[in-house]
Chain A
Amino acid sequence: MLETLQNLAVGFSIALSPSVLLYAFAGCVVGTLVGVLPGIGPLAGISLLLPATFGLDATRAIVMLAGIYYGAMYGGSTTSILMRIPGEAASVMTCIDGYAMARKGRAGAALAIAAVGSYVAGTVSVVALMFLAPPLAAFALRFGPPEYFALLLLGLLVLAYMSGGSMLKALAMAALGLLLGMIGIDQMTGYFRFAYGVVELGDGIGVVPVAVGLFGLAEILATAGQATPPDVIKPKLRELLPSRREWKESAGPIGRGTVLGFVIGIIPGSAHIISSFVSYALERKLSKRPEEFGHGAVAGVAGPESANNSATSGAFVPMLALGVPSGPIPAVMLAAMMVHGVSPGPLLIKNQPELFWSFIASMYVGNVVLLILNLPLVGLFVNLLRVPYPILYPSILVFCVLGVYAVNGSVVDVWIMLAMGALGYVLRKLGFETAPVVLGLILAPMIEMAMRQSLAMSDGHYAIFVTRPIAATLLAVGLLLVLLSLKSLVTRSLDWRARLALAEKGEGHP
């Protein structure tokens, strides 16, 4: 303990030295920008900037790249809340209630809650990273394909809590997402599925173009289609800060989101994207007023935003403790270390204590920097809403096209985004919610791969899912959840969904 604090003190002395601080700050600023721009997410941002770090030393390079990663999680909420455009995939859930809050004139509050939630999650999860990295990393590695499959199956159950309206419609949308996720090279055999000779479709349909299309473009089209343009929201200065009630309702979701995000984040793979979805579902399940979700529930912003931030720290656990490329972003950061002659591996903390501890310290510093950077920006960003729609919306469209194109330099992605925009418009008119499409699209390739890898491991025996303790436990939890939800069928009591449906009938139309 004492040793840890001493190490941390050394780390801070490096992290606070002007030159390292400068790079941490630069990383945070770039990360915020990358998060704000629709389309470009942290992976694309880090990849684009990786070559620029080759001239730096290892500590500065890593500190800056990490700043981009967690900075993007702060920035991602901004466009989600203000314009219903997910800055990156992890912000999809924030679009729903964050944007609803903005329509009610609470954009400032939503942005502030998102920033504070991100700060709390970022800081707490660094503490966890510092003390728990080695034992947790060893645990995380035990997540092989069968465990991953069981976890993702739990993720599918989350779908039930994603939408406030008809369950049938939500499941139909999820199925659409799962189908879209089938496009691309079959990872197990090398067959192209539904690619129709388009080489770019071999990689499947990206989450980003779909999310930006379904949410952002559809929103713009829907607004343009109204007979009278909606009133421009004129936020007042005193309404920028969250009310006492909003703070109170956010505390629990921030805490739970932090823990949840960290735990999901340490698991190798790309599951960290689902941390915000799971958090949203969890908050809705626990809420006393689940019917408020989708109409501007502050918990629906606080939970997912905290979760996606602490998931980033979680993802660093296997990377730093074991040198394991636990996901696409840690893989790029490991490459950056190798370029600088630092050999990542289980001995990293022992052999390179300065790098490790200054990295940890810089994350504390970075989170403070981001909070200071983001809170004053709330006032600035909110004023974007004052821009008249004929100017605002075309500019957003331009940024969407640029951002989506920049990720892979692929025109095919832009077409996908436009097609999804049109589809999203139609679905909206028909009263379908589109978040389940995105979750389905994220889950489908992962769940399929995990299942078929598991079966390859066991030579086709399904017993592998129940003979491994972690997988079996997760599946049992899933079964329990399903049984619990059936309870209301048996006892014929009305759950919130039924109450909501009744209420909506009473009101005529929502």
Chain B
Amino acid sequence: MKPARLASLVVLALVLAAVAAGAQEPYPTRPITVVAPFPPGGVADLTARPVAAAMEKVLKNPVGVVNKTGAAGAVGMQFVATSKPDGYTLLLALSSISIIPEADKLFGRPPAFTVDQFAPIALISADPTVLVVPADKPWKTAKDFVEDAKRRPGQISFSSSGVYGTLHMAMELLSHAAGVKFRHVPYAGAGPALTAILGGHVDALASGPAVVLPHIKSGKLRPLAGWGDRRVAALPEVPTFKELGYPDAEFYIWAGLFAPKGTPEPVLARLRDAVRAAVADPDFKAGMDKLQTPVAFKQGAEFQQFFDADARRLADGVRKVGKIETK
């Protein structure tokens, strides 16, 4: 055998060995994309970025965040639902992931995606909404508010982030739990909904605690009750609807990481470990502290259980709202 041919055979053998090794090399071997289905600056984006940065340290591969927005998140969620289940395209979804398919069903539309197209990886944060009213309104407690709503059905108005949006669903869950009816004024996003209550154009708003805290402190808004199973840390004097005897009024704006269904179990396990390490990362904790968003890590069966219960409540909520008839 000529030396040149020998050399090329050796090279070939080395290449083959490298390829074989590559096939067995554990996930991940290339950059991972986390899709945030909402624009930069929103809850999904602001959660996704610190999580991705912390996961990068664990997975030793770049983890990038891509904002794929549109149709209240449906565009990005649909994109991940139909992505290759190889663990390289993940979704950072909010509570609305359970609402959109249910609303599609309600209107008889072919659903953009269904929840069972996703494999839950881990819950990252869960923030219960709180009920706020303008400080110049007469209601001092949630009891005043609900009783007045009973006396005047359909008279007390609330703003929301949009029809069937998260802030709308929170109020609907309350209205069914308490057997009252409110007047709904939808806005295009949580920002405009907050502006509306600050301008005194509506009477109430269910909102994430962080964005209303400064307005509570300045005396513009009054918190009445929270939707969580325990009180909000920053508002220890504000009771929960559960305490007040409305156990069905439970609602969280949560953020969780999902992979497309069919992602191999070892990959999912690796991702769960990465997220667990990520939420313990000091940088991540500091980042979430600044946003005043409580970290609530759940994984595996625990997350599945939380997700299923939440999806059931929301699906039920959407069905109870039904199609909206406007005058």
Contact = CB atoms under 8 A, between A and B. Distances in A.
A339 B192 contact: no
Interface stretch (B182-190, B223-231, B254-262): B182-190
Interface in A339-390: 339-341, 343-348
Interface stretch (B35-43, B265-273, B308-316): B35-43
A331 B71 contact: no
A395 B263 CA distance: 43
B2 interface: no
Contacts, number: 151
Contact of A343 (B78, B109, B213): B213
A143 B194 CA distance: 13
Contacts of B24: none
Contacts of A190: 103, 107, 163-164, 324
Contacts of A339: 46, 287, 290-291
Contact of A325 (B68, B74, B192): B192
Contacts of A449: 188
Contacts of B191: 325, 331, 334
Given A191-B107, A322-B198, A325-B195, A336 B214 contact: no
Interface string B184-223: 1111110110111011111000000010011101101000
Interface string A390-431: 000000000000000000111000000000000000000000
B41 A347 contact: no
Contacts of A343: 213-214, 292
Contacts of B292: 338, 343
B218 A338 contact: no
Question: Chain B: interface residue count, which band?
Answer: 35 or more
Interface stretch (A6-14, A167-175, A226-234, A454-462): A454-462
A326 B292 CA distance: 22
A40 to B, nearest CB: 14
A457 B202 contact: yes
B304 interface: no
B46 A188 contact: no
A322 B4 CA distance: 77
B162 A47 contact: no
B8 interface: no
B71 A187 contact: no
Interface in B53-92: 65-72, 74-75, 78
A332 interface: yes
B65 A51 contact: yes
A105 interface: no
B70 A345 contact: no
Nearest to A336: B41
Contacts of B67: 47
B112 interface: yes
A203 B71 contact: yes
Given A189-B324, A324-B195, A410 B70 contact: yes
B188 A47 contact: no
A285 interface: no
Interface string A449-474: 10011011101100000000000000
Nearest to A341: B290
B80 to A, nearest CB: 13
Given A197-B110, A346-B214, A142 B187 contact: no
Interface of B: 39-42, 45-46, 49, 65-72, 74-75, 78, 103, 107, 109-110, 112, 154, 157, 162-164, 183-189, 191-192, 194-196, 198-202, 210, 213-215, 217-218, 220, 287, 289-292, 323-327
26 contacts: A47-B40, A48-B40, A51-B65, A141-B195, A141-B198, A141-B200, A187-B188, A188-B186, A188-B326, A189-B323, A190-B324, A192-B109, A202-B75, A268-B192, A318-B195, A324-B194, A325-B195, A334-B41, A335-B42, A338-B292, A343-B213, A345-B214, A345-B215, A346-B214, A456-B185, A459-B154
Closest 4 CB pairs of A and B: A345-B214, A335-B41, A325-B191, A144-B201
